[in-house]
Structure 1
């Protein structure tokens, strides 16, 4: 089992540099099986959300793992189905926990035009001990500036789509976060391989992978780590999960990073790349609402 490095957050806590995400894991017992497998392989950071409608199944896997509470790092997110005070209690009940390690606002849109007011409630959740760390997801620079203007607690994390094909567009929020002590968490880091194969990244990814005796997906995850970001990823295959953990041991050269940045900048515009992810988010939201209302699809 590979030991996972951790990054120190601005509140003094530490977050594992790679997480197993349950967004695409679906629902029901299969989620428990997938999380069980991830924990068995060596993941100790599990990322879920109210929106995904699989917190309860995730909680079953956590309990079945036999790991003590301080051996596992749990992230979940406020997705706006209920008020935030009820939502955190629901999430804790579903997960079978007394606190989560990290609680995120899933989107700035959930603030309904008043980000400072929602963040104040997040600060209370932290003060009450229901979350050790609090942060945001899908926030851009202006959203963060609005939040920080009256914040008593700086977000620990901003979870965003982050890979070489969107790096130019996400560079500003990544850099701003770094200035403010906010760690970037990367979701959909493998899109250049899983949804956009055949692009400019293929050549440098394959070249670097061959030199390092690694795979292209491992190189992408190593790129995320090189940018100082945390990875949230998923696979149903045990061997791939093992490979993802091994990727955290890879060290890219400055030339490698420059080659990937340059190739990524040649890809299509950000909006075109984001469209499939936005569509998936809409589908996921619809599915979540239907499940929440006990409506079969």
Structure 2
């Protein structure tokens, strides 16, 4: 299954959907799940030193039999000693590769003594040395991105947690990235389904899903792609892998549909208290759920009136 690519500001390209080995896969032997992702048709694998599973990603890559040129591999710097070159060489050894397609600073917390420019300079050095074809950042704020850009060497990517409920909060960063050709990679985009079910985005996703013949999750990924962003996602289920890859073949969202998702997302996710009530309702039988909901709601409202709980 062919996956389109996104053009980076350094002339390189990366597939617009990546299989991530973080989240619930951190610290685990991911050999089988990465092999499964590659068999399903994923050609972009995203890993990181912090995930402590690079050696298993490397094993999966070797056992896949795929040519190096057929797989885009993203890694992330996770050291705190400023030895970027040492860190990427360790990653390459574990992966069994001679270079990465993309290497990112994993998090701003890795910046020692607020020396953004110094750390970025070391990132540039590993690209010059041919250890990474492209370099970028992850979880960077507007102020940090601005400082990196001022060095004269643009990051190719900023990977951030992005979904309809937090999209507005990233507006300035996204606009700045677009201005400088910095591709946004979005992870955690399925949060409206996995973390905040029952929110105002849900009915919008369902309506659009019926129109395009897809699932709510596919609609979110279509929304991410419509914004010009790259999806980073993960799953251990083959059916989900097929579902995610099929996104590129579904009809595009209309402007009205994209705007509807934006508006619903701007309303924010349901409160954690209401989410807990909904989860209780789902796990109880119909009769017990009705009674339980009345009791829980009464308690929630009572605590709210006492000022002990914010809704």
TM over 0.5: yes
C-alpha contact (below 8 Å) 2:8/2:14 kept by paired residues: yes
Q: Which residue of 2 aligns with 1:6?
A: 5
1:268 Cα deviation from its structure 2 partner = 4.7
**Structure of greater Rg:** 2
Q: Which residue of 2 aligns with 1:212?
A: 212
User: Counterparts in 2 of 1:141-290, with a 5 A limit?
Assistant: 141-151=142-152, 153-250=153-250, 251-268=252-269
C-alpha contact (below 8 Å) 2:199/2:269 kept by paired residues: no
Q: Which residue of 1 aligns with 2:56?
A: 57
Aligned counterparts of 1:123 and 1:25: Cα–Cα separation in 2: 29
C-alpha contact (below 8 Å) 1:115/1:146 kept by paired residues: yes
Q: Which residue of 2 aligns with 1:121?
A: 122
Aligned counterparts of 2:26 and 2:73: Cα–Cα separation in 1: 18
CA distances 1:165-192 after superposition (whole Å, capped 9, x unpaired):
1110011111110001100000001011
- Shifted more, 52-61 versus 142-151: the winner is 142-151
1:212 Cα deviation from its structure 2 partner = 1.1
Aligned counterparts of 1:164 and 1:213: Cα–Cα separation in 2: 21
User: Counterparts in 2 of 1:94-133, with a 5 A limit?
Assistant: 94-112=94-112, 113-133=114-134
CA distances 1:210-248 after superposition (whole Å, capped 9, x unpaired):
111100000001100000000000011001110001112
Coordinate RMSD, CA, aligned: 1.3
Aligned counterparts of 2:80 and 2:108: Cα–Cα separation in 1: 14
Aligned counterparts of 1:46 and 1:4: Cα–Cα separation in 2: 13
User: Counterparts in 2 of 1:65-76, with a 5 A limit?
Assistant: 65-76=64-75
Aligned counterparts of 2:27 and 2:139: Cα–Cα separation in 1: 23
3-state secondary structure, aligned to 1:246:
helix
C-alpha contact (below 8 Å) 2:102/2:132 kept by paired residues: yes
Q: Which residue of 2 aligns with 1:281?
A: none
C-alpha contact (below 8 Å) 1:19/1:43 kept by paired residues: yes
Cα distance change on mapping 1:28 and 1:268 into 2, 3 Å: closer
3-state secondary structure, aligned to 1:163:
coil
- Shifted more, 83-92 versus 63-72: the winner is 83-92
* TM-score (norm: length of structure 1): 0.88
1:111 Cα deviation from its structure 2 partner = 1.4
Aligned counterparts of 2:262 and 2:243: Cα–Cα separation in 1: 23
3-state secondary structure, aligned to 1:109:
helix
1:148 Cα deviation from its structure 2 partner = 1.4
1:81 Cα deviation from its structure 2 partner = 5.0
Aligned counterparts of 1:110 and 1:213: Cα–Cα separation in 2: 43
Aligned counterparts of 2:20 and 2:3: Cα–Cα separation in 1: 16
Relative contact order (C-alpha < 8 Å, sep 6+): which is higher? 1
- What are the ranges of 5 or more consecutive residues in structure 1 without an aligned counterpart? 273-297
C-alpha contact (below 8 Å) 1:163/1:190 kept by paired residues: yes
C-alpha contact (below 8 Å) 1:27/1:57 kept by paired residues: no
1:198 Cα deviation from its structure 2 partner = 0.3
- What are the ranges of 5 or more consecutive residues in structure 2 without an aligned counterpart? 273-311
3-state secondary structure, aligned to 2:2:
coil
Aligned counterparts of 1:254 and 1:267: Cα–Cα separation in 2: 21
